[in-house]
Chain A
Amino acid sequence: MAPSSSSGLTFKLHPLVMLNISDHFTRVKTQLNPPSSSCAAGNTPAATFPQNFRVYGCVIGAQRGRTVEIFNSFELVFDPTTDSLDRAFLEKKQELYQKVFPGFYILGWYSTGSEANESDMHIHKALMDINESPVYVVLNPAINHAQKDLPVTIYESEFHVIDGIPQSIFVDASYTIETVEAERISVDHVAHLKPSDGGSAATQLAAHLTGIHSAIKMLNSRIRVLFQYLVAMQKGDIPCDNSLLRQAAGLLRSLPAAHSEKFNDNFLMEYNDKLLMSYLAMITNCTSNMNEVVDKVKTAYAKKSRTGGSRIPFM
């Protein structure tokens, strides 16, 4: 329904934004629908609960060249009388966030729902004086387990001529998930409940390898899908898609990924460094054990008769 964006901007979304929006929605939902004091009876009056409320907020981030990176978000107050967002509140919040994250500025706004409405255009236009081309992020809070894709859509506004009248409508924009290492680790941590404290070396190793194993499984399943698709194309079940074939061929041609002399040298050097480290750790371990043994021998065979002893002790 919404045609794709043609602005050429690439959007990058951080997982923090999604968790922010989800948290905002969950909070408001539980406040509107307080849990019954006896949780045993699961018959909360779902009928009277307004299922179709929406929460609103603002997204902030930075734009570098053609890449728009959405880092963070905060909540906003919606004024149902004027059908717009509270402007003073927005500016106050923006000031606060500017102090802590000086590099970020308002990129757009978000709301929950299933798709963009016409009424959202008012809010969108209101934000245009802060950012001449704001983005609109929509999160669909309905939990649908059959769905494989993230329920987040990003819209931009563009002027299109419809029926002879130039209007601005929402157009779909594609986005990628961008993350920094620390974010990835904490998301992984919360998602899969890895062991948080030290644990033995075995559990740490198991946790680390399990993570890599799951990632490789995904890779394997994706490659399988691609493979089956190509086989079907070869058999003639599916019409040949040349651009896809070109992409697949390009992918295969890029393997082996890095095989130059320099890469091999670097790789082996790092490998040797790590082996050296474990060797040193082993030596330290042995030294400490030997020290304990010597101490024990000394204690066990201490001869009290020897006086003073200017003998250099055996090290």
Chain B
Amino acid sequence: MESSSTIARKTWELENNILTVKPPADSSSDNIFHYDGAAHAKVLKEKPWATDPNYFKRVQISALALLKMVVHARSGGTIEIMGLMQGKTDGDTIIVMDAFALPVEGTETRVNAQADAYEYMVEYSQTNKLAGRLENVVGWYHSHPGYGCWLSGIDVSTQMLNQQYQEPFLAVVIDPTRTVSAGKVEIGAFRTYPEGHKISDDHVSEYQTIPLNKIEDFGVHCKQYYSLDITYFKSSLDSHLLDLLWNKYWVNTLSSSPLLGNGDYVAGQISDLAEKLDQAESQLVQSWFGGKKASLHKKKKDELPLAKITRDSAKITIEQVHGLMSQVIKDILFNSPRQSDKTPSDPTDPEPMITS
């Protein structure tokens, strides 16, 4: 029953060059849950991140924290939500053990919200320490429903402030709408550079689809922060529970239909794409009339807006086609006439070809 998922996991591990470290004993794989107050205080005094702005490179998020953040983000619908994360550091890795939501509305500006939520945070941290959760706040998370995982201008200034006074601090952004639409978790972890730090030009960040009305905000600030790699971990009991959970979960996997839930999001994406096409077309017309010489000097690195649009459209379409495939499979499974009555209907409708 597990063989297909182990095959998938092995494929993924191979592709991503995962080195599996065999834990010496069963309990030590849960070591990550142990909180060592003395070691943590020592690291806080040393502050190795003060000298190197690129110090933290990786993030490890616990299964519980991820689940809480995604559920909270989705419950907000189209309103941004925010919350805090608790955890610790380990060398150049920030470990997020838990997350909790903050009672703030998405419409307030971020700086104010932090001041308001401090009382909540202090009370929550105190009660948590009594109940046995000893970690400190190690970052904040918020959601960008529908428009991707990146830091906006306000986010960048908030995070820069945080990194000055509350180190070590991490910013995480989750997009719940894209998560549901794509079927995989859209999450990004970022740290900002201090004021005036020049990012090296050949550092290329992963491309993302950004809607037209946000693309300016993204472009202005995208060089002021860098993203960290995210991996996940879970305890042995968690893995055991999740394995057993699959026995009940497979029904939900089969019955999920990502197409139905996200109709207006997809429509929004398509209209955004149409606007971008208009813009690209007018740009092209201008460059034609503005003289042929202009195009000769185009830098090799800049991508034509048309190529970007192509990538965006391919991404949307692939998601839709995935959803369609699920629907067709379900149709074949549950709707085909019975074998004894008539010959089965031809199930091999030509599936659309997908090229990257």
A interface residues (Cβ-Cβ under 8 A, vs B): 15-16, 18-20, 22-31, 33-35, 39-42, 44, 55, 57, 74-77, 89, 92-93, 96, 99-101, 141, 143, 145, 147-151, 176-177, 179-219, 221, 255-259, 267, 270-271, 274-275, 277-278, 280-281, 284-285, 287-288, 291-292, 295, 298-299, 302, 309, 313, 315
Contact = CB atoms under 8 A, between A and B. Distances in A.
A295 B295 contact: yes
A68 to B, nearest CB: 18
Contact of B304 (A33, A57, A291): A291
B222 interface: no
Contact of A281 (B247, B261, B314): B314
A21 to B, nearest CB: 9
B132 A28 contact: yes
B62 A184 contact: no
Interface string B283-326: 01000110010011000000010110110011011101111111
A181 B304 contact: no
22 contacts: A18-B241, A23-B98, A30-B31, A34-B36, A35-B28, A39-B23, A42-B25, A93-B131, A179-B252, A182-B74, A183-B67, A184-B252, A185-B180, A185-B183, A186-B185, A189-B66, A192-B9, A194-B184, A211-B183, A213-B4, A256-B336, A292-B307
Interface in B313-356: 313-314, 316-318, 320-329, 331, 333-338, 352, 354-356
Contacts of B103: 99-100
Interface string B198-222: 0000000010000000000000000
Interface in B230-281: 230, 232, 234-254, 256, 258-259, 261, 270, 277
Contacts of A190: 63, 66-67, 232, 234, 242
**What is the interface of chain B mostly: helix, strand, loop, or mixed?**
helix
Contacts of A93: 127, 131
B150 to A, nearest CB: 14
A271 B321 CA distance: 9
B195 interface: no
Contacts of A192: 5, 8-9
Contact of B310 (A31, A278, A288): A288
Given A44-B25, A96-B127, A201-B318, A189 B185 contact: yes
B124 interface: yes
A184 B248 contact: no
A201 B34 contact: no
B123 interface: yes
B14 to A, nearest CB: 11
A35 B327 CA distance: 49
Contact of A203 (B15, B68, B102, B252): B15
A70 B253 CA distance: 21
A185 B262 CA distance: 15
Contacts of A198: 206
A195 B12 contact: yes
B176 interface: yes
B70 A89 contact: no
B313 A284 contact: yes
**7 tightest A-B CB contacts, nearest first:** A42-B25, A182-B74, A75-B131, A218-B250, A257-B334, A99-B103, A191-B242
A257 to B, nearest CB: 4
Scoring A100, A145, A179, A200 by chain B CB atoms within 10 A of each residue's CB, the highest score goes to A100
B345 to A, nearest CB: 11
Interface in B67-106: 67-68, 70-71, 73-74, 97-98, 100-103
A277 B284 contact: no
B272 to A, nearest CB: 14
A195 B14 CA distance: 11
Nearest to A291: B306
Scoring A184, A277, A299 by chain B CB atoms within 10 A of each residue's CB, the highest score goes to A277
Contact of A39 (B28, B131, B232, B251): B28
Contacts of A270: 259, 324, 327
B100 to A, nearest CB: 8
Given A194-B8, A270-B324, A26 B238 contact: yes
B33 interface: yes
